[in-house]
């Protein structure tokens, strides 16, 4: 029987009611009396020197309050990078300045040059057309390998080259890995591109700066996944505002997928300008502007080699990856191709020797940073593609080759510095094959053939490191932040609770799922628990939501805080029942004393905490409110297996996804309905990457895929209904809920399954195609067949 | 976008006088024009909406000719042309999306002559006449290359007349992002000839594939064109497809349209 | 600026608009109906879908002046008279047809238009009809399921687990 409440129940989402009736409160729905509007004049060339900037006509245009340029930001900090990577020799990465507004040079199309603040948005935009910019265009640095040639133009003159870092991992394993390749029975090599993507949450970014002169307090309303992180980065590194004079509010946020983690220039600008003008300043990105200013994702070019013995056992793996940073280092950009990527190269397999080399490169493109999965999709794609290719080359069934190499004993320490606590990769693979009716493939292929279509199937087995992250570990690896999470549980006198969490919900359903956990712990109705998030003024310092961390880290913090509350409540209950605290039990909202018939209700105890007339004041304080900061001791390791079946139209190259089965092990699951929804969304983004999406620049640095007219977003008729399953559960061993996180799995696991399926279809159709780079658009598939 | 004056005439005459103003332009459904204006790539001073001109709306059939008012929406054509001219109705039913079809008009689409618009392929293949406030223009004389037509400044498409074919079909191979045709082929089998209109493919805009027309006129079957090849010269090449690919698709879509024609 | 009047969600509403004022800007800015959203500027995403004289349109691709005198229905006008969720809204909640909620108003308005024309759509018809509504969160699976459930059809056959 499915549960109808508490952990494991598919409770309907309470937040839905406001979203379904038009009562959501997104940042653009906020309008502050007296607000002005900013329009950013952005560079239309990819690389150029600003020789002159004349804003005088714009300054006197109707409605204009002020025109800001880079000169106004001299002495103001730049946008910081949150993770320092060291190179193979132990030297720190090259870290260029990232000004709020361009200082003498523009480095990508969309780089902001000036900002016009006016009474209305249209006035600001009208005035911006009157700014004269004298730009001396420089050659654009676009191709990563060309960018590293000694004579390449430099994106940043003050750096020695366009190389951010040359990272080796694990450097000590390099020689041994190379030696293993020398001895290998078989080596499979694959060169591939993990193409640049645009996150495209449906809500474009918005920022509103506000300044209260009476208290000298600045407030930023912003579309962020992590308001506390923005407050810290912007306050401490950019604008020099102490946290107690800066409030950051991220209200309802319309999706993020990583792109709303980062601290952006527009946030700092609006906060700065509001104080300068003593007026609220609002910026609303258009979708077109988002394509030029939201950090983009992926963009890796990789050569991967897998060494196998005669039986197909993996002997060694080595990769060389070029990772595009874009023109500046976005907040977590440097960690994505390194620690979020290299550490996952073992996959689900026992590969004794692994060496990963990553060269991070500056180019004249929009900065690249984390996008759903962040590094882990890139790792999984390489690995699962090269394994499929190896299986074909060696004549081993691709399912069998994977099984032969699966890690089956836990804990398992990989050669790339992480320890998997638990898992069962055969179980999810079995389940995925069963759901997809793997054995019934041939009959379906025959049906497809009657229609003139080629059917193919592909599998993928993935692992990811989530629950980001153990602070001390990531600190050693270069993180400039702690990655704990926080929660305050405030019990009110009449027994209801408010949980103030540092996690942020922008679609994940925390307002529903978090109360399920607390309600279970205490034995009260979920409706008695309210979740507060998204405002630095009323939540403890928290690190926000990304990396599938909310339930694993934020949920654990909430559990810890609730445990403290319950421990104190038991003391109060013990006093009221004249029993020893250790004898007091809490179940179904009732405290009782073991072995007696004494009991007292939760509400009576909470009332006593705030009306302490009969209360052990000499032992404990009144009130019932506790805060916990939870720092995980390890990552969590969700894993699973995906099966994709496609039909390819050999005349046009068009691929249709016929069925997609996903079996995931997320450990324990709090709300199955929400978890399945997360998987559906991840699958759509992964299938989108594999089939449709691609961010393309021309050689001069102009973005060709600059709107939904050219950037192919997955639509309802591009996708099938999905089969998803999370019944294979190996609970996480090191967090209190045994949860692993589910947000990114679909996006990580689906691209290789789909590409494997298309390659399979083409081979069955008699085409000698071993790889096609994503997206597998009809044009590319057709070209591969020619 | 730049500001302008919106005029909503109730008759063609009122519309024509309003269009005489400097930098005046007709506004059909605005489904292409408004996004263009948002990018500040168009700056009309006056927009003359055809939406309230009842005389420019509706679909009627008379003696083998279908007459469609210039302000008729795609959604209306999809419904009202279905029995008499299913090929045209099928084309209209796949333009854009339902909300776009409720606003976008046939006159607006033809006047804009986007190289990837659907209607131009139908007009060329069906043959017929574009009727304006001033004159009648034969289908073969109407299109003059990408975004260019025989229309004069201030001229308004009031009615579009199609010669209803015996059999017809439109096959659209969608560009994955915009869903506009990467290649769209309208095949029309008339009693005396077969006409094939191709959109989306050529740098010169919509065109007739005359070799296929000849082959199909003597044998209306997909096999009839199997020996033909389409030259990639002059085909559009962009991130969604090379000229070779588009040329290939012209043939594939033509064959499918012939097979599906009803 | 000129004065525009329309009937919105059954009530008379009026405000000031320039020629270039889009219907969505008028609804959000002038009337304070912020449930209708803007997710793109190329008329593709459908977050702004409302009904004008009973037909679904993209409020970002129509001028406010074009709707002068029209009957307009927005997401704020979709609940039952007693304020409870209507059948489509309820199905979206029951089947988890929304996550971040940003595309949701447009999805609900498109779904309502679909079911008016086609009371029992097939899965393929639902997916086809949603061509102009982009969702980045749900992968559409549960949106399709919700719309079919709202039409009174059994949705257990739609693959879920």
CATH topology of domain A16-22+484-630: Aldehyde Oxidoreductase; domain 4 (3.30.365)
Residue B180 and residue B191: Cα distance in Å, rounded?
31
Q: Which chains does B contact via 3+ CB–CB distances below 8 A? A: A, C
Q: HSE (CB half, 13 Å, CA atoms) of B188?
A: 27
Distance of CA A408 to the CA centre of its chain: 28
| CA–CA separation, A381 and C153 (whole Å) | 39
Q: Does C19 touch chain B (CB under 8 A)?
A: yes
Confidence of residue A4 (pLDDT cuts 50, 70, 90): confident
Nearest of A205, A384, A365, A246 to residue A302 by alpha carbon: A384
pLDDT at res. A3: 85
CA-based nearest distance C101→chain B, Å = 20
Question: Are A312 and A369 within 8 A, CB to CB?
Answer: no
| Contact in structure between A34 and A279 (CB atoms under 8 Å) | yes
Predicted local confidence at residue C156, as pLDDT: 83
Q: Identify all chain C residues contacting B1, using CB atoms and an 8 Å cutoff.
A: 20
Residue pairs between chains B and C whose CB atoms are closer than 8 Å: 75
Q: Which residues of chain B are within 8 Å of residue A654 when distances are taken between CB atoms?
A: 173
Place of tokens 């060494």: A307
Of C49, C105, C86, nearest to A20 by C-alpha is: C105
- Start-end of CATH 3.30.390.50 domains in chain B: 167-260
CATH entry, C87-150, from 3.40.50.970, 1.20.1250.20, 1.10.150.120, 1.10.10.10: 1.10.150.120
Mean pLDDT of A763-767: 97
* A265-296 burial: b if 16+ Cβ within 10 Å, else e: bbbbbbbbbbbbbebbbbbbbbbbbbbbbbbb
User: What number of other Cβ atoms are within 10 A of residue A74's Cβ?
Assistant: 9
Task: Tell me whether residues C49 and B99 touch, CB distance under 8 A.
Answer: yes
Residues A77-88 have pLDDT tens digits of: 999 999 999 999
B6 reaches C (C-beta below 8 A): yes
Q: Is the pLDDT of residue C161 over 60?
A: no
Q: Does A692 touch chain B (CB under 8 A)?
A: yes
> Which part of chain A has CATH 3.30.365.10?
16-22+484-630, 297-469+634-785
For C107, name the nearest residue in chain B, comparing CA atoms only: B99
Distance of alpha carbon A27 from alpha carbon A598, whole angstroms: 51
A698 touches chain B (CB under 8 A): no
Q: State whether CATH 3.90.1010.10 applies to domain B5-49.
A: no
A365-380 burial, b if ≥16 CB within 10 A, otherwise e? bbbbbbbbbbbbbbbb
Angstrom distances, CA of residue C45 to CA of A444, B102, C38, C49: 35, 16, 8, 9
C61 touches chain B (CB under 8 A): yes
| Chain A touched by B178 (CB under 8 Å) | yes
Which pLDDT belongs to residue C157? 73
Q: How far apart are CA A633 and CA A437, in angstroms?
A: 39
Q: Which of A27, A198, B95 is nearest to C38 (CA)?
A: A27
Q: Which residues of A touch C94 (CB under 8 A)?
A: 12
Q: Which residues in chain A have Cβ-Cβ distances shorter than 8 Å to C130? A: 715-717
The answer to whether B9 touches B18, Cβ cutoff 8 Å, is yes
CB contact under 8 A, A651 and B252: yes
- The CA–CA distances, whole Å, from A558 to A226, A485, A495, A540, A741 equal 17, 9, 17, 12, 15
- Mutant choice from C27, C80, C93, C102 vs A, greatest count of A C-beta within 10 A: C102
CATH placement of domain A297-469+634-785:
3.30.365.10
Is B230 touching A (CB cutoff 8 A)?
Answer: no
Residue B138, C-beta contacts closer than 8 angstroms, at least 6 positions apart: B128, B129, B130
What is the pLDDT confidence band of residue C160, given thresholds at 50, 70 and 90? very low
Chain C residues touching residue A18 (CB < 8 angstroms):
101
Tell me the C-alpha distance between B229 and B247, whole Å: 8
> Given CB atoms, is B3 within the 8 Å cutoff of chain A?
yes
How far away is chain A from the Cα of C77, in angstroms, using its nearest Cα? 8
C159: confidence class by pLDDT, cuts 50, 70, 90: low
Architecture of domain B56-163: 2-Layer Sandwich (3.30)
CB atoms B35 and C42 under 8 Å: yes
**Over the stretch A286-296, which tens digit does the pLDDT of each residue have?**
999 999 999 99
Interface test with B, best of C42, C67, C117 (most B CBs within 10 A): C42
A379-430 confidence digits (pLDDT tens): 999 999 999 999 999 999 999 999 999 999 999 999 999 999 999 999 999 9
A777 contacts B240? CB cut-off 8 A: yes
Structural contact between residues A49 and A125, judged by C-beta atoms closer than 8 angstroms: no
Q: Residue A508 and residue A743: Cα distance in Å, rounded?
A: 8
- Asked if B38's CB is within 8 angstroms of C19's CB, the reply is no
A708/C45 Cβ within 8 A? yes
Q: Which residues pair with C7 in a beta bridge?
A: C12, C71
* Residue spans in chain C of domains classed CATH 1.10.150.120: 87-150
Cβ distance B145 to B154 under 8 Å?
no
Helix axes B243-260, A778-785, angle to 10 degrees: 100
Radius of gyration, alpha carbons of chain B = 18
B/e letters for A584-623, b = 16+ CB within 10 Å, e = fewer, are: bebeebebbbeeeebebebbbbbbbbeebeebeeeeeeee
- Quick one: CA torsion of A710, A712, A716, A720, rounded to 10 degrees? 150
Q: Does A699 touch chain B (CB under 8 A)?
A: no
Distance between CA atoms of residues A477 and A635, nearest Å: 14
A-B C-beta contacts closer than 8 Å? 48
Helix (H) or strand (E) holding A485, with range, is: strand A485-491
Among candidates C66, C68, C113 on the partner chain, residue whose Cβ is nearest the Cβ of B98: C113
**Residues A661-672, mean pLDDT to the nearest whole number:** 98
Query: Residue A168 forms beta bridges with which residues?
Result: A357
In which residue ranges of chain C is CATH 3.10.20.30 found? 2-77
Q: Which backbone phi and psi does B87 adopt, to 5 degrees?
A: -60, -45
The confidence score (pLDDT) of residue A501 equals 96
Q: Assign A258 to helix, strand or coil.
A: coil
Q: Three-state DSSP class for A529?
A: strand
Domain with CATH 3.30.43.10 in chain B: 5-49
Write the CATH number of the domain with boundaries A31-138+205-284: 3.90.1170.50
Strand (E) or helix (H) holding A446: helix A441-450
How do B167-174 and B59-62 pair as beta strands? unpaired
Strands of B154-251 (E only): list them. Answer: 157-163, 167-174, 181-189, 194-199, 207-208
Instruction: Give strand pairing partners of A644.
Output: A458, A660
What proportion of chain C, given as a percentage, has pLDDT over 70?
A: 98
Report the C-alpha gap between B39 and B41 in whole angstroms.
5
| Mean pLDDT confidence for C44-63 | 98
Contact C139 A725 (CB under 8 A): no
**pLDDT of A455 strictly over 70:** yes
What secondary structure does DSSP assign to A756-773, as a single string? Answer: HHHHHHHHHTT------P
Q: For residue A705, which residues of chain B lie inside 8 Å, CB to CB?
A: 177, 239
B99 contact C CB<8A: yes
Cβ of B201 under 8 Å from any chain A Cβ?
Answer: no
Q: What is the CATH number of domain B167-260?
A: 3.30.390.50
pLDDT above 90: residue C158: no
A651 touches chain B (CB under 8 A): yes
Is the pLDDT reported for residue A1 higher than 70?
A: no
Asked if C56 reaches chain B (Cβ–Cβ under 8 Å), the answer is yes
B1–chain A nearest CA distance, Å: 7
Number of neighbours of residue B13 by Cβ within 10 angstroms: 12
* Averaged pLDDT, A535-557: 95
Inter-chain touch B51–C55, beta carbons under 8 Å: no
Nearest to B210 by CA among B183, B190, B230: B230
Both structure tokens of C5? 């009047």
Mean pLDDT of A518-524: 96
**Nearest CB to B239; choose among A126, A288, A696:** A696
Tell me how far apart the alpha carbons of residues A572 and A257 are, in angstroms, rounded to a whole number.
44
Instruction: Note which residues in 360-379 of chain A have CB less than 8 A from chain B.
Output: none
Q: A255 vs C144: CB contact, 8 Å cut-off?
A: no
Nearest to A363 by CA among A398, A392, A338, A328: A328
Which candidate from A681, A716, A725 shows the least CB-CB separation from C161?
A725
SS (H, E, C) chain C: CEEEEEEECCEEEEEEECCCCEHHHHHHHHCCCCCCCCCCCCCCCCCCEEEECCEEEEHHHCEHHHHCCCEEECHHHCCCCCCCCCHHHHHHHHCCCCCCCCCHHHHHHHHHHHHHHCCCCCHHHHHHHHHHCCCCCCCCHHHHHHHHHHCCCCCCCCCCC
The predicted structure's pLDDT at residue B161 = 98
A21, A674, A746 ranked by CB distance to C75: nearest? A21
- Specify the CATH number of the domain C2-77: 3.10.20.30
Substitution target in C141, C143, C159 with the highest count of A β-carbons within 10 Å is: C141
Asked if the C-beta of A705 comes within 8 angstroms of chain B's C-beta atoms, the answer is yes
pLDDT along chain B (262 residues), means of 10: 96 97 96 94 96 96 97 98 98 97 97 94 97 97 94 96 98 98 98 97 96 97 96 97 98 98 94
Question: What secondary structure letter does DSSP report for A551?
Answer: I
* N-term to C-term CA, chain C: 55
């Amino acid at each position: 029987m499915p549960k109808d409440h508490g952990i494991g129940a598919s409770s309907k989402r309470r937040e839905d009611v406001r979203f379904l009736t038009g009562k959501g409160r997104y940042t653009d729905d906020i309008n502050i009396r007296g607000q002005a509007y900013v329009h950013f004049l952005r560079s239309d060339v990819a690389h150029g020197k600003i020789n002159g900037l004349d804003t005088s006509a714009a300054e006197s245009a109707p409605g204009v309050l002020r025109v800001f340029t880079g000169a106004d930001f001299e002495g103001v900090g730049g946008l910081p990078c949150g993770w320092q990577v060291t190179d193979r020799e132990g030297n720190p990465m090259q870290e260029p300045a990232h000004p709020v507004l361009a200082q003498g040079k523009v480095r990508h199309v969309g780089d902001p040059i000036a900002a016009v603040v006016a009474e209305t948005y249209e006035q600001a935009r009208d005035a911006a057309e009157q700014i004269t910019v004298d730009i001396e265009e420089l050659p654009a640095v676009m191709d990563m390998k060309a960018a590293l040639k000694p004579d390449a133009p430099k994106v940043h003159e003050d750096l020695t080259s366009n190389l951010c870092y040359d990272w080796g991992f694990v450097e000590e394993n390099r020689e041994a890995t190379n030696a293993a390749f020398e001895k290998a029975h078989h080596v499979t090599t694959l060169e591939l591109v993990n193409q640049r993507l645009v996150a495209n949450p449906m809500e474009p970014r918005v920022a509103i700066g506000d300044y209260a002169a009476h208290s000298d307090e600045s407030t930023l309303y912003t579309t962020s996944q992590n308001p506390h992180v923005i407050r810290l980065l912007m306050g401490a590194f950019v604008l020099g505002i102490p946290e107690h004079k800066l409030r950051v509010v991220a209200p309802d946020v319309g999706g993020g997928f990583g792109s709303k983690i980062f601290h952006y220039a527009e946030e700092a600008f609006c906060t700065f300008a509001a104080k300068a003008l003593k007026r609220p300043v609002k910026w609303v990105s258009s979708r077109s502007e988002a394509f030029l200013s939201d950090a983009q994702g992926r963009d890796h070019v990789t050569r991967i080699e897998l060494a196998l013995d005669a039986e197909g056992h993996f002997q060694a793996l080595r990769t060389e990856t070029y990772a595009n940073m874009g023109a500046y280092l976005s907040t977590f950009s440097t960690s994505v191709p390194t620690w979020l990527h290299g550490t996952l190269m073992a996959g689900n397999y026992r590969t004794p020797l692994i060496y990963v080399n990553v060269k991070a490169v500056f180019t004249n493109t929009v900065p690249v940073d984390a996008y759903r999965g962040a590094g882990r999709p890139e790792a999984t794609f390489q690995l699962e593609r090269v394994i499929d290719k190896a299986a074909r080359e060696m004549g081993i069934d691709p399912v069998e080759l994977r099984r032969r190499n699966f890690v089956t004993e836990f804990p398992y320490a990989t050669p790339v510095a992480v320890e998997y606590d638990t898992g069962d990769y055969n179980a999810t693979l079995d389940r995925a094959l069963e759901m997809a009716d793997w054995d019934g493939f041939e009959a379906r292929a025959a049906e497809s053939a009657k229609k003139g279509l080629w059917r193919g199937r592909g599998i993928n087995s993935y692992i990811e490191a989530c629950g980001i992250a153990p602070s001390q570990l990531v600190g050693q690896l270069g993180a400039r932040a702690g990655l704990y999470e926080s929660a305050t549980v405030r019990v009110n006198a009449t027994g209801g609770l408010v949980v103030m969490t540092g996690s942020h919900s922008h679609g994940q359903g925390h307002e529903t799922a978090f109360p399920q956990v607390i309600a279970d712990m205490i034995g009260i109705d979920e409706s008695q628990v309210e979740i507060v998030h998204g405002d630095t003024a009323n939540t403890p310092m928290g690190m926000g939501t990304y990396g599938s961390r909310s339930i694993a880290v934020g949920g654990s913090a909430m559990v810890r805080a609730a445990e403290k509350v319950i421990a104190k409540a038991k003391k109060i209950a013990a006093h009221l029942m004249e029993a020893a605290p250790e004898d007091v039990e809490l179940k179904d909202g009732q405290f009782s004393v073991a072995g007696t018939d004494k009991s007292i209700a939760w509400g009576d105890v909470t009332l006593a905490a705030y009306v302490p007339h009969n209360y052990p004041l000499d032992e404990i304080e009144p009130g019932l409110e506790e805060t916990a900061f939870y720092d995980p001791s390890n990552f969590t390791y969700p894993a699973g297996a995906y099966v994709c079946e496609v039909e390819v139209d050999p005349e046009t190259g068009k691929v249709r996804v016929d069925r997609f089965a996903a079996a995931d092990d997320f450990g324990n699951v709090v709300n199955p309905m929400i978890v399945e929804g997360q998987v559906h969304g991840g699958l759509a983004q992964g299938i989108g990457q594999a089939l449709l999406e691609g961010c393309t620049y021309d050689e001069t640095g102009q973005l060709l895929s600059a709107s939904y007219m050219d950037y192919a977003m997955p639509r309802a008729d591009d996708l099938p209904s999905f089969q998803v399953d999370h019944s294979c559960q190996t609970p996480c061993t090191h967090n209190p809920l045994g949860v692993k996180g589910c947000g990114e799995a679909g996006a990580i696991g689906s691209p290789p399954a789909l590409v494997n399926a298309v390659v399979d279809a083409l081979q069955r159709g008699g085409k000698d195609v071993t790889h096609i780079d994503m997206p597998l658009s009809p044009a590319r598939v057709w070209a591969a067949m020619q | 976008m730049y500001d302008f004056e919106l005029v909503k005439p109730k008759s063609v005459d009122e519309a024509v006088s309003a269009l005489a103003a400097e930098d005046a332009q007709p506004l059909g459904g605005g489904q292409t024009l408004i996004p263009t204006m948002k990018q500040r790539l168009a700056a009309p001073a006056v927009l003359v909406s055809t939406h309230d001109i009842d005389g420019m709306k509706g679909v009627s059939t008379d003696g083998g000719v279908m007459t469609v008012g210039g302000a008729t929406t795609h959604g209306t054509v999809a419904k009202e042309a279905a029995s008499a001219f299913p090929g045209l109705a099928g084309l209209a039913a796949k333009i854009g999306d339902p909300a776009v079809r409720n606003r976008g008009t046939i006159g607006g689409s033809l006047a804009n002559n986007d190289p990837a618009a659907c209607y131009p392929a139908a007009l060329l293949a069906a043959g017929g006449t574009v009727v304006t406030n001033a004159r009648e223009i034969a289908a073969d004389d109407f299109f003059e290359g990408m975004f260019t037509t025989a229309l004069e400044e201030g001229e308004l498409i009031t009615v579009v007349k199609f010669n209803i074919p015996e059999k017809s079909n439109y096959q659209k191979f969608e560009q994955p992002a915009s869903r506009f045709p990467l290649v769209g082929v309208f095949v029309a089998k008339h009693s005396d000839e077969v006409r094939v209109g191709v959109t989306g493919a050529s740098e010169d805009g919509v065109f007739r594939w005359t070799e296929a027309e000849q082959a199909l006129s003597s044998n209306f079957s997909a096999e009839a064109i199997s020996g033909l090849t389409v030259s990639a010269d002059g085909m559009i090449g962009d991130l969604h497809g090379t000229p070779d690919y588009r040329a290939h698709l012209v043939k594939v879509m033509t064959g499918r349209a012939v097979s599906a024609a009803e | 600026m000129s004065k525009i009047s329309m009937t919105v969600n059954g009530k008379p509403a009026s405000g000031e608009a320039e020629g270039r004022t889009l219907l969505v800007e008028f609804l959000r800015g002038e009337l304070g109906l912020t449930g209708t959203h803007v997710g793109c500027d190329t008329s593709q995403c459908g977050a702004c879908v409302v009904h004008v004289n009973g037909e679904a349109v993209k409020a970002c691709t129509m001028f406010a002046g074009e709707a002068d005198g029209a009957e307009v229905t927005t997401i704020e006008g979709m609940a039952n008279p007693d304020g409870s969720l209507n059948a489509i809204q309820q199905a979206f909640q029951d089947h988890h047809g929304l996550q971040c909620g940003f595309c949701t108003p447009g999805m609900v308005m498109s779904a309502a238009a679909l079911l008016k024309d086609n009371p029992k759509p097939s899965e393929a018809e639902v997916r086809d009809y949603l061509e102009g509504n982009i969702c980045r969160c749900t992968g559409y699976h549960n949106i399709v399921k919700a719309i079919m459930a709202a039409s009174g059809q059994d949705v257990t056959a739609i693959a879920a687990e």
